[in-house]
A and B are shown apart, each in its own frame.
Chain A
Amino acid sequence: MVHWSAEEKQLISSVWGKVNVEECGAEALARLLIVYPWTQRFFSNFGNLSSPTAIIGNPKVRAHGKKVLTSFGEAVKNLDNIKGTYSKLSELHCEKLHVDPENFRLLGDILVIVLASHFGRDFTPACQFAWQKLVGVVAHALARRYH
């Protein structure tokens, strides 16, 4: 079980409380597909991903980004059992979706950058520490059931 200090929990939930999940989720996924274009391999049925503008405006990208970040919220609500929270999703990503877990790390780093751009100076180094830790734990939990 991951140990979270009271400060880390507070930093995580105070940021999460102010996040617009739809906007941040859409932006994080769009940036993943733009900054690391090979990640588009998982989304061949998403339609037009031919340019940054197309990706940002793509309704499937927006919807899926919202879905992914909404799921992230489950981790925030269950910091003391992230492994259990993502057990089924881990199996899904391995058996059905065939996603290399490295992609979870890439998305996590992009999410931290998106949060920094939204929260500015409020996204302090201590905040970044807590969130880098969280995205790392989520990535690890999603990879845990791979076989």
Chain B
Amino acid sequence: MVLSGADKTNVKGLFSKIGGQAEDYGAETLERMFAAYPQTKTYFPHFDLGKGSAQVKGHGKKVAAALVEAANNIDDIAGALSKLSDLHAQKLRVDPVNFKLLGQCFLVVVASRNPSLLTPEVHASLDKFLCAVGTVLTAKYR
């Protein structure tokens, strides 16, 4: 699956419109993921996952920053996320199925906060982008 020129434009456009709110989007994405898919909590036994958790907010900020970084380097996502890819393969070993769950929740956050941003075309591009990020992060698993 390849990101077309239009996909890249759509994704970059979306992230530039989200701008500084990316951190909040990241935090809410995690909050929704833990709520909608409780099995994802198994990766965070060391976190306080209660409502308003500072740890979840902090981690959401990191996740958002990685997505922004990938969008800013959309021609070479593998390069941009290479260290994160190593981390996920060697240390975190999050089962690949969970990246789709995170992606679904990010889409839900965008849809609920900014429905006019998520046109069908942008939805398609963003879904492809999130798949590509997941693929990169699991690429070195075996």
Instruction: List chain A positions with a Cβ less than 8 A from chain B.
Output: 30-31, 34-35, 52, 55-56, 109, 112-114, 116-121, 123, 125-126, 128-129, 132
Contacts and interface: CB of A to CB of B under 8 A. Distances in A.
Given A35-B123, A35-B124, 5 more contacts: A35-B120, A119-B112, A125-B34, A128-B36, A132-B37
8 contacts: A34-B124, A52-B120, A52-B121, A113-B118, A117-B118, A123-B108, A125-B34, A126-B35
A113 B123 contact: yes
Interface of B: 31-32, 34-37, 104-105, 107-109, 111-113, 115, 118, 120-121, 123-124, 127
Contacts of B107: 113
A129 B115 contact: no
A52 B36 CA distance: 29
A116 B37 CA distance: 16
Contacts of A31: 120, 123
A9 B99 CA distance: 28
In this complex, the member of B36, B112, B123 whose beta carbon has the largest number of chain A beta carbons within 10 angstroms is B112
A30 B34 CA distance: 29
Contacts of B123: 31, 34-35, 113
Given A31-B120, A34-B123, A128 B115 contact: no
A116 B108 contact: yes
B127 A35 contact: yes
Given A31-B123, A113-B107, A120 B37 contact: no
A112 B35 CA distance: 14
B10 to A, nearest CB: 11
A123 B35 CA distance: 12
A125 B115 contact: no
A114 B106 CA distance: 13
A141 B24 CA distance: 36
B120 A120 contact: no
Contacts of B32: 125, 128
Given A125-B35, A125-B36, A128-B32, A34 B108 contact: no
Nearest to A109: B104
Contacts of B34: 125
A120 B121 contact: no
